Amino acid sequence: MRWVQRHEAVAVFHELYSPVLHALNEIERTSDSVSSDKAEALQMRRRKIEFVSNINILAHTLALTHSLSVALQSKTIDLKECADMIKNVKICLESRLANAEREFKKILKDIETTLEKEEISTTTRGLRSSATEDVKTAMLLRNYKPFLRSIVDCLDARFGDSFKQATKSFSIVPYHMRTHPDTVFAMEHFQT
């Protein structure tokens, strides 16, 4: 599966979260016992605060990286343009990481809206329990910040110093010549 499809799958599931829960509820009520049991099990997992928070964190964060994934999978992307996009996404992710508490408040509103809309209980481990701040802090520290950090680290690992060197050299080669075998050979062997 291509990365863009993964981004889109998360976005679609996030958007259709309520209809999915309602469909599972309908299957649980009207189907045979095997289907009903499976639907109930799926519904129970999707009605937990942890799932709701994680799908919201994924949707918000992957929305930021979606255009980069599309560009990276393009066969005709300019290497310099690609490097600039990676740099911009990293800057944005690092900014979100530096301002994680403020950024997470935006996601938290969506989480709370979903919990209310779907009447998901939050009394024992939820957002409106007596330990509200502890739960919010836990989601921020265990889920949101590590996820942002892992994306930044992944971009660094895949597009680190060697990629930066290649973009410097490649940027002087006209676009139509970059795929020519002689140009590729020269770029690989005569990096500056």
Which distant-in-sequence residues (6+ apart) come within 8 Å of 123 by Cβ?
129
Query: Would you state the pLDDT for residue 126?
Result: 43
Longest dimension (CA), the chain: 68
> What is the structure's pLDDT at 124?
40
177 pLDDT band, cuts 50/70/90, is low
Over residues 84-142, the pLDDT tens digits come to 899 999 999 999 999 999 999 889 999 889 888 888 876 444 444 444 567 778 788 88
